[in-house]
């Protein structure tokens, strides 16, 4: 299932720099966390590569749109260089205006065709093509892979996302019905309206007792969650194509590239599957990682892939050594399940992760580390500091743990890697610079402040979208430029609030929260927890 059909050459498969369908209907400019160079670097390191530090690297994005993915990165990493290209001139103009307003000097958004990219663009440590591959013709797909070979640094990583089979088969069932119905309808808004209407009619009219009806209702639920512009460019693009993983990998190999891994690493980790699956898939050599992952796709029916590629001549370590976690910073949003998860107490310590899964351990040091991560969130903690903090939490057991430090350290690294592979925590080579402390003059991310002036959806320092529906909270974020004390924030926020129109509904008006020092501090704490405050 696609979540980003950004297209650098347009849904009409044009290859000049003329009008693009995205000139008329903008595609949402979003940050894609799994394309973040730090995430790509971390996965590359785990596989034995030596990726460029994110703090000083070059990044190219094909089909960058308005720069929603690149601009926050450029703001966070001023010593790195970011170049984005897109065929839609209006889209690039909008993104360039945002770059100028932010005063960023390390990013260029260019109105270019993918086919124009040559070796003269130079080499890039990270190349990103999110939601492009499935929405362009074959010769452009070949060019994308050629760029990944020609312009990728020796230890570089390329990110390629696309609609994938077998999951896309069900999606295509609904797509083809909608496309048949909209037929020659040209107006984008009418196409969307008619597409939604016919799918609802078909789903409502289908039997509740057969697979076909179940699939249609499931697809209707998916489409109902899509914004109109996403539906128009993704599902209602007649040229959209899905691929099996093996097809993409074969084409990549033909261009001198190799499969590194899936950006959503837990999908590829055998330990997340039932033992019968592990027993069978383990018979496939680890060196055939793409073959293993293809069979896992057969099992889970996934419909959208985020494939990482690197040069074919790199010798990868397919069996990942959990001890490589020691090179990382660790972050996790965890909540203790027990009412008293004392680190030194006997028994199993269980924590609920942000994704809803639970992780458990009987290893006292790991339990203490998970507790420290829970209290540190959203900040990342480097492994040596995490180890020391966990040891200090063991109380009377700390001395014994220090005597067998090497074994304890290895066990902790193994537990952290297991939690990472399960999707319960994050590993970072170069974590975001953020803070949970409320300083004398608190400051929020510049990008988020500018976004909050116009929208409820902002990008935090973890490269994720955050929805701020409270207008006072949004206005507070706008004011957090690092020049105001808490009392000055209270004063200025009161002035802004006084100009706001009160709810017409009497009950809502009576519940309207007044701006106080306590409410400002509470909102600051919430914004810090949302990874919006810079250190």
pLDDT digits (tens, 9 = 90+) for 442-458: 999 999 999 999 889 99
pLDDT of residue 167: 93
pLDDT of residue 29: 72
DSSP 11-46: TTT--SSS--HHHHSPPP----GGG-HHHHHHHHHH
pLDDT of residue 15: 36
pLDDT of residue 12: 30
Instruction: Tell me how crowded residue 345 is: count the other CB atoms within 10 A of its CB.
Output: 13
Summarize the confidence of residues 508-517 as an average pLDDT: 69
Q: Is the pLDDT of residue 215 over 60?
A: yes
pLDDT of residue 497: 81
Instruction: Note the pLDDT tens digit of each residue in 236-284.
Output: 988 899 999 999 999 999 999 999 999 999 999 998 999 999 999 999 9
Integer angstrom CA distances of residue 349 from 166, 325, 335, 382: 38, 21, 11, 22
Q: Is the pLDDT of residue 9 over 80?
A: no
Model confidence at 24, pLDDT cuts 50, 70, 90, reads low
Q: Is the pLDDT of residue 118 over 90?
A: yes
- 46 burial level (CB within 10 Å; 0-12, 13-18, 19+): buried
Q: What angle do CA 256, 257, 258 make, to 5 degrees?
A: 135
Summarize the confidence of residues 437-442 as an average pLDDT: 95
With pLDDT > 90 as the criterion, what percentage of the chain qualifies?
Answer: 81
Torsion angle defined by CA atoms of residues 47, 50, 51 and 53, in that order, rounded to the nearest 10 degrees: 130
Distance CA 411, CA 200 (A): 53
Summarize the confidence of residues 374-390 as an average pLDDT: 96
Mean pLDDT of the chain: 90
Model confidence at 338, pLDDT cuts 50, 70, 90, reads confident
Instruction: Note the pLDDT tens digit of each residue in 121-138.
Output: 999 999 999 999 999 999
177-186 long-range contacts, CB within 8 A, separation 24+: 177/202, 178/235, 178/236, 179/236, 179/238, 182/236
Summarize the confidence of residues 86-111 as an average pLDDT: 95
pLDDT of residue 3: 38
Q: Is the pLDDT of residue 11 over 80?
A: no
Model confidence at 511, pLDDT cuts 50, 70, 90, reads low
Model confidence at 397, pLDDT cuts 50, 70, 90, reads confident
Model confidence at 234, pLDDT cuts 50, 70, 90, reads confident
Summarize the confidence of residues 475-503 as an average pLDDT: 89
Summarize the confidence of residues 496-501 as an average pLDDT: 76
pLDDT of residue 150: 97
SS3 (DSSP) at 129: strand
pLDDT of residue 23: 54
Instruction: Note the pLDDT tens digit of each residue in 189-212.
Output: 999 999 999 999 999 999 999 999
137 cis-preceded (ω within 30 degrees of 0): no
User: Poorest-confidence range of 21-35, 229-243, 385-399, 485-499?
Assistant: 21-35
Model confidence at 354, pLDDT cuts 50, 70, 90, reads confident
CB proximity list for 287: less than 8 A, separation 6 or greater: 318
- 106 burial level (CB within 10 Å; 0-12, 13-18, 19+): middle
Q: Is the pLDDT of residue 416 over 80?
A: yes
SS3 (DSSP) at 263: coil
Q: Is the pLDDT of residue 28 over 70?
A: no
How many helices (H) and strands (E) the chain has is answered by 21, 15
Summarize the confidence of residues 278-300 as an average pLDDT: 95
**Are the C-beta atoms of 174 and 206 separated by less than 8 Å?**
no
Distance CA 386, CA 410 (A): 13
């Amino acid at each position: 299932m696609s979540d980003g059909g950004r297209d650098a050459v347009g849904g009409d498969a044009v290859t000049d720099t003329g009008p693009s369908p995205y000139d008329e209907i903008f595609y949402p400019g979003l940050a894609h966390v799994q394309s973040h160079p730090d995430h790509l670097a971390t996965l590359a390191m785990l596989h034995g590569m030596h990726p460029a530090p994110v703090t000083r690297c070059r990044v190219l994005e094909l089909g960058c749109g308005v720069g929603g993915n690149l601009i926050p990165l450029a703001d966070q990493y001023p010593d790195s260089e970011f170049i984005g290209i897109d065929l839609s001139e209006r889209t690039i103009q909008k993104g360039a205006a945002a770059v100028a307003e932010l005063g960023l000097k390390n990013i260029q958004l260019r109105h270019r065709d993918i086919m124009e990219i040559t070796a003269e663009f130079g080499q890039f440590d990270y190349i990103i093509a999110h939601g492009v591959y499935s929405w362009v013709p074959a010769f452009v797909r070949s060019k994308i892979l050629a760029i990944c070979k020609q312009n990728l640094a020796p230890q570089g990583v390329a990110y390629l996302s696309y609609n994938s089979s077998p999951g896309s088969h069900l999606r295509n069932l609904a797509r083809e019905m909608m496309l048949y119905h909209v037929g020659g309808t040209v107006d984008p808004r009418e196409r969307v309206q008619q597409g939604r209407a016919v799918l609802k009619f078909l789903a409502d009219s289908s039997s509740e007792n057969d697979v076909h009806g179940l699939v249609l209702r499931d697809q209707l639920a998916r489409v109902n969650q899509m914004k109109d512009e996403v539906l128009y460019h993704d599902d209602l693009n007649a040229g959209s194509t899905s691929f099996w993983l093996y097809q993409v990998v074969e084409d990549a190999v033909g261009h001198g590239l190799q499969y590194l891994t899936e950006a959503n690493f837990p999908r590829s980790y055998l330990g997340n599957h039932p033992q019968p699956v592990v027993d069978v898939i383990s018979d496939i050599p680890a060196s055939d990682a793409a073959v293993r992952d293809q069979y896992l796709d057969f099992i889970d029916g996934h419909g959208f892939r985020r494939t990482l590629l690197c040069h074919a001549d790199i010798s990868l370590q397919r069996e990942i050594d959990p001890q490589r976690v020691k090179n990382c910073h660790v972050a996790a949003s965890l909540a203790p399940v027990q009412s008293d998860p004392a680190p030194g107490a006997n028994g199993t310590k269980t924590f609920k992760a942000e994704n809803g899964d639970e992780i458990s351990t009987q290893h006292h040091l790991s339990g203490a580390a998970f507790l420290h991560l829970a209290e540190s969130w959203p900040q990342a903690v480097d492994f040596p500091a995490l180890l020391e903090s966990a040891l200090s939490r063991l109380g009377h057991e700390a001395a014994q743990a220090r005597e067998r430090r090497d074994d304890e350290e290895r066990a902790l690294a193994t537990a952290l890697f297991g939690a990472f592979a399960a999707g319960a925590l994050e590993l970072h080579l170069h974590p975001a610079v953020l803070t949970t402390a409320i300083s004398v003059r608190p400051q929020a991310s510049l990008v988020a402040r500018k976004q909050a002036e116009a929208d409820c959806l902002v990008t935090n320092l973890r490269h994720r979208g955050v929805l701020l529906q409270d207008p006072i909270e949004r206005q507070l974020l706008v004011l957090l430029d690092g020049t105001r004390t808490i009392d000055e924030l209270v004063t200025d926020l009161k002035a802004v609030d006084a100009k706001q129109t009160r709810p017409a509904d009497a009950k809502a008006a009576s519940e309207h929260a007044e701006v106080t020092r306590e409410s400002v501090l509470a909102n600051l704490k919430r914004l810090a927890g949302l990874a919006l405050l810079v250190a």
